[in-house]
Amino acid sequence: MKSSDDLPDDEGTMFIAWSPNANFAVSGRRGRDGELYVGSIYQDASMSTLKGVKHSIEQIKSTGVDVELVTGAEADKLFAEMAQRLQSSGAEQQEGKPN
């Protein structure tokens, strides 16, 4: 998983990723390399449904910003990478705790 902080400010197009297998949505930018760079995670109820995500995208688009909706296998892969990273971080924190 890559962070949108890794991209120059003027690079990338905005995306929002959503999957029915997750209870959250993710936004960020797609880099010139085609990779997704994560910027924010949304856990509020309005972003937990496809209808809510599409509504948010329409609101953003109404301001003149182009937004890509990422779903399916690409979104599932991104969420799996995020879960793996969170599990790794948790394991590292557990190793550092005294017994």
**pLDDT tens column, 15-52:** 999 998 888 899 999 999 999 999 999 888 888 889 99
Could you tell me the residue range of the domain that residue 46 belongs to?
2-91
What pLDDT shows up at residue 92? Answer: 58
The pLDDT of residue 99 is above 60: no
CA distance 39 to 23: 17
What pLDDT shows up at residue 91? Answer: 55
The two three-digit tokens of residue 89, written as one number: 């971080």
Neighbouring CB atoms inside 10 A of 94's CB total 8
Structurally, the chain folds into a number of domains equal to 1
- Asked if residue 98 belongs to a domain, the reply is no
What pLDDT shows up at residue 95? Answer: 56
Higher-confidence residue: 30 or 90? 30
pTM as predicted = 0.82
- Asked if residue 97 belongs to a domain, the reply is no
